[in-house]
């Protein structure tokens, strides 16, 4: 008895169809995966670029601590291509107590336009001030009171 199999041509066609089906399914997955990763990378890169050239400066002569109003204010100069938002002002006293104000006024500062920033404080006699943006926490500025004068702290 002679057993016949499928012809080599039919086998080749079935094999090609199977490979093409797998390729289509795999490419659909890869396309979505790559697009998602490109979008996330672009967002992260944009944030890094925004923070890279960031420079915060405080006019030390402008620092004013009003203990009656529980406020501290200073002129903040910010240099970068985008506006500074998410400003956080933390104040410290001799005992190490800290109070942060995440809503100082104004809430946004334009680049290259010095503005007076006012923050609420509840620590008594603050002797150190830390200024940063929640969007770029690595870029921060410390100033401290040294013999009655405010100086930069590194």
For residue range 7-17, what is the model confidence (pLDDT) as tens digits? 888 889 999 99
Q: How many CB atoms lie within 10 A of CB 58?
A: 20
Q: Which of 115, 95, 97 is nearest to 106 (CA)?
A: 115
For residue range 16-64, what is the model confidence (pLDDT) as tens digits? 999 999 999 988 888 888 888 888 877 776 555 567 777 888 999 999 9
Burial class (CB in 10 A: 0-12, 13-18, 19+), 62: middle
Give the end-to-end CA distance of the chain in Å, rounded to a whole number: 94
0.75 surpassed by pTM: no
Contact 98, 90 (CB under 8 A): yes
Token pair of 148 as six digits: 């009655």
For residue range 90-99, what is the model confidence (pLDDT) as tens digits? 999 888 888 8
């Amino acid at each position: 008895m002679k057993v016949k199999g499928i012809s080599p041509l039919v086998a080749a066609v079935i094999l090609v169809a199977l490979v093409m089906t797998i390729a289509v399914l795999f490419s659909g997955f890869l396309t979505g995966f790559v697009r998602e990763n490109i979008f996330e990378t672009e967002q992260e890169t944009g944030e890094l670029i925004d923070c890279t050239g960031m420079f915060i400066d405080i006019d030390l002569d402008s620092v004013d601590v009003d203990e009656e109003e529980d406020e501290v204010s200073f002129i903040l100069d910010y240099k970068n291509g985008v506006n500074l938002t998410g400003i956080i002002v933390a104040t410290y006293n001799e005992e190490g107590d800290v109070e942060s104000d995440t809503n100082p006024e104004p809430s946004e500062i334009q680049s290259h336009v010095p503005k007076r920033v006012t923050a609420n404080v509840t620590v008594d006699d603050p002797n150190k001030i830390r200024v940063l943006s929640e969007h770029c926490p690595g870029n921060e500025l410390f100033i401290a009171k040294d013999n009655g004068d405010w100086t930069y702290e590194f």
